[in-house]
Amino acid sequence: MATSSVSKGCFVFKPASKKRKRVVGAEDYFVDGGEDSGYGKERFSICKRLWEKINTDTEVLQDELNKKMLDSLLEFIKKYTTSFESRADDWASLMRASEIPTAALVLGVNVPDHDMTFQSLTDLLKESVTPFAVSLQAKECSALKNLMQRVLERLMGVGVLLEEYEEDPGMSLAQKRVSCSINALCQWYKTVVKKHIVKSPGKKSSLSASPPIVLIFKDFEAFNPRILQDFILICSRYIQELPLIFVFGIATSPSTIQHMLPHSVSSLLCIELFQSLSCTQHLATVIDKLIVTSEFPFKLSGKVLQVLVSIFLYHDFSVRNFVKGLQLALLEHFHSQPLSVLCCEKRDALHYAEKLSHQDVELIRQLPSFMRFVEAQEPQEQVQLLTSDEHVKTVCQKLLKDLRKYHKNYYPILRCLHTLTSSLPKYPLGKQIRELHISCLEKNIWETNEYESAMQLLRLLAKDELVSTLRKCADILKSGNTKKTRSALEQLEDYFIKFEQLDNLSADNLDEEEATSQKDLQIKTDLFQLQKTLLEMETRRSKKISPFEVLRNEALDVFDDLVRSHLIPPETQPLYEVCYYSFSGVLRRHLNATPRTSIQTALNHPFYYLQNENLKTDTGMVSNAAPDICIAYKLHLECGRLINLFDWLEAYATVASAAEGKDPDSDEYGKVDEVKHARFIQAVSELEFLGFVKSTKQKTDHVARLTWGGC
């Protein structure tokens, strides 16, 4: 559109009518092929509810696990706050004139989880102790002035004027900046405390009259030691005017404080140590509440759970990242499995099963577990299952109920077996319940050598130890709400009565045996006859099984039968695919990224990422139309340990000339001009940045190759 006019003017052109772009919601990605045959929106809704439940439960668990430590930390801060307010004589006894109360919070190496702990601490402080709680990180405190600036800005809520900047006289009152000094902080604090006393002289508040200033150093080890030393020295001069309290977040060991701060500085701190629970205990609690339970409908296969646990143990020890992996598995399951709409509460699952479409019924018939179920039925039943959709829906509802009963029996028996074997020497079935759970998911646990050795050790337990362990199992079975668990509990109660009856009988039997032995030994005999008598007595004792041993074997046989009946792998249950996510390879690829492999794939096969038809080539070849870095990478693979830059440049220029379509017989073909030289230098710089080559002092015009082979 163009307009010619002698005078200037304003012209309005209506835009061409365009189709309004459809906004795609998250639930639309769960719908396959534009048809809602797989209950895409319902699956998304169920997935979202379970996702929110995971988040809520993990936050509650985190608060419960840290409650004891945080309560102790709050008491520590309140103690020094009260002392500062009273200005009593015991103030000097609690800390010397220049000492700063410091809490050394040892949280462990699971750094990604520390944010949740510090957030909980900050919230508790602001609720019950002080509104002046500031969190600091090393990356934002590269110098002392930056550290002071962050503290003042977050406390005072205004900008801070650094020395190299001058205040603009045109600033409004709200935009005024204060000088970056501890003296300015003192003046501000006195003003705030006075206002607080004037506003509420007679009112009782949960906050103290002179609230302390709590400075939380989240990653203490990452701070520059020199900056910390100077900051502590400055603060110690003002401790009588400012109620400062430090909290050091330590990931490694409390000795880090002595390593980073000299004695002249650390002596200015009144340090008290606070230890959090280990990350393995956190993980055990999360697995106990979210995975080893029948209340949570979504399940993980043994291999998937092993991937998540391996990443936790060998990479970061982060429970937070473990939960994110669990959420990723949840999302993948509901996105890739159309029948996951049945992975929900019992009432909703039966409702969706009753309304399955013909396409969904066909998907059920294609499930491996359902195919095995059909093969085990009578011929007439097989015909019904393969031809009648309504019959499949009815059977599907029954199978979902059976699957729920299987889980209600599986988890109590699993906990009982773990209780029995977790204290055995060398832990034949694992020390943590997750190890036993993974073994039960993958194979018949009673067919393993570890199970046999565990049962042999259990048959050697003393009476007191056995009875106490069985009572723990009885408490677990009480939580079960099935006929099988109630029946097992009744059997255990009978054995407890029998064990108590043994206490009275064992003493009488022991007296009779001793009397018989004494009579045998009192008979006058020679040395040979005495030896023979002793051997007969020993043989008689070894062959005779005591009543306790009989009861012990019977009680353990009850548990052995329960294990063989209820701890069978979930793959044997029809429709287990509805609840279990088993694609461990997909999860490993998402969570265990291999950047070098991805980079080499992109450089060797640029079509894989760029999807440009001109980049399609045979295996081992790179198109001359590929990006410069791909061409340079392919050429460097043909060189040895040292690469001559001039030879590399000439080879690159030849390929670049072919890409430009120049005649191979012309003089311009393969000639290095300024543009090609600049492109080559950029490609080599990028390869050096990625770690494929580096400069070397052996030869000035060469670079050293750092990797070998491609993907």
Residue 210 or residue 560, greater confidence: 560
Name the pLDDT band for 163 (thresholds 50, 70, 90): very low
pLDDT value of residue 6 = 46
pLDDT value of residue 542 = 55
Among 465-469, 557-561, 610-614, 690-694, name the one with the lowest average pLDDT: 610-614
Q: Which token pair is 419?
A: 């209780």
What separation in angstroms does the CA of 410 have from each of 407, 441, 484, 565, 679? Answer: 5, 11, 10, 9, 64
Among 467-476, 542-551, 613-622, name the one with the lowest average pLDDT: 613-622
Element (H, E) at 585: helix 584-591
Q: What is the mean pLDDT of the chain?
A: 83
Of 235, 291, 257, 258, the closest CA to residue 98 belongs to 235
pLDDT value of residue 106 = 94
Average pLDDT over residues 269-276: 92
CB within 8 A of 333, min separation 6: which ones? Answer: 298, 340, 343, 581
Cross-strand pairs, 271: 102
| pLDDT for residue 711 is more than 50 | no
Domain ranges (residues) in the chain? 53-164+176-195+208-277, 283-511+545-581, 595-705
| pLDDT for residue 221 is more than 90 | yes
Question: CA quadruple 489, 494, 495, 497: dihedral positive or negative?
Answer: positive
Among 218-232, 403-417, 634-648, name the one with the lowest average pLDDT: 634-648
Of 421, 428, 438, 427, the closest CA to residue 560 belongs to 421
Of 648, 639, 653, 631, the closest CA to residue 701 belongs to 648
pLDDT value of residue 193 = 80
Name the pLDDT band for 1 (thresholds 50, 70, 90): very low
What is the share, in percent, of the chain residues with pLDDT greater than 90? 47
Q: Which CATH entry fits the domain spanning 53-164+176-195+208-277: 3.40.50.300, 3.40.190.10, 1.10.260.40, 3.30.390.10?
A: 3.40.50.300
pLDDT value of residue 525 = 57
| pLDDT for residue 91 is more than 80 | no
Q: Tell me the angle at which helices 319-336 and 584-591 cross, rounded to the nearest 10 degrees.
A: 130
pLDDT tens digits, 608-628: 788 787 777 766 566 777 888
| pLDDT for residue 515 is more than 60 | no
pLDDT tens digits, 674-707: 888 899 999 999 999 998 999 888 887 889 998 8
pLDDT tens digits, 635-651: 888 888 899 898 898 88
SS3 category, 568:
coil
pLDDT tens digits, 285-311: 999 999 999 989 999 999 999 999 999
Most confident of 182-191, 260-269, 545-554: 260-269
pLDDT value of residue 35 = 46
Its pTM stands at: 0.79
| pLDDT for residue 280 is more than 70 | yes
Among 100-109, 201-210, 553-562, name the one with the lowest average pLDDT: 201-210
pLDDT value of residue 277 = 87
Question: CA quadruple 602, 605, 606, 610: dihedral positive or negative?
Answer: negative
Of 150, 158, 115, the closest CA to residue 134 belongs to 150
What is the share, in percent, of the chain residues with pLDDT greater than 70? 80
| pLDDT for residue 566 is more than 90 | yes
SS3 category, 105:
strand
| pLDDT for residue 95 is more than 50 | no
pLDDT tens digits, 325-369: 999 999 999 999 999 999 999 999 999 999 999 999 999 999 999
| pLDDT for residue 25 is more than 50 | yes
Average pLDDT over residues 398-420: 95
pLDDT tens digits, 29-38: 676 544 444 5
Give the fold, CATH level 3, of 595-705: Arc Repressor Mutant, subunit A (1.10.10)
Q: Which token pair is 313?
A: 């143990």
Q: Is 330 exposed, middle or buried (0-12, 13-18, 19+ CB in 10 A)?
A: buried
Name the pLDDT band for 596 (thresholds 50, 70, 90): confident
| 328 within 8 A of 590, measured Cβ to Cβ | yes
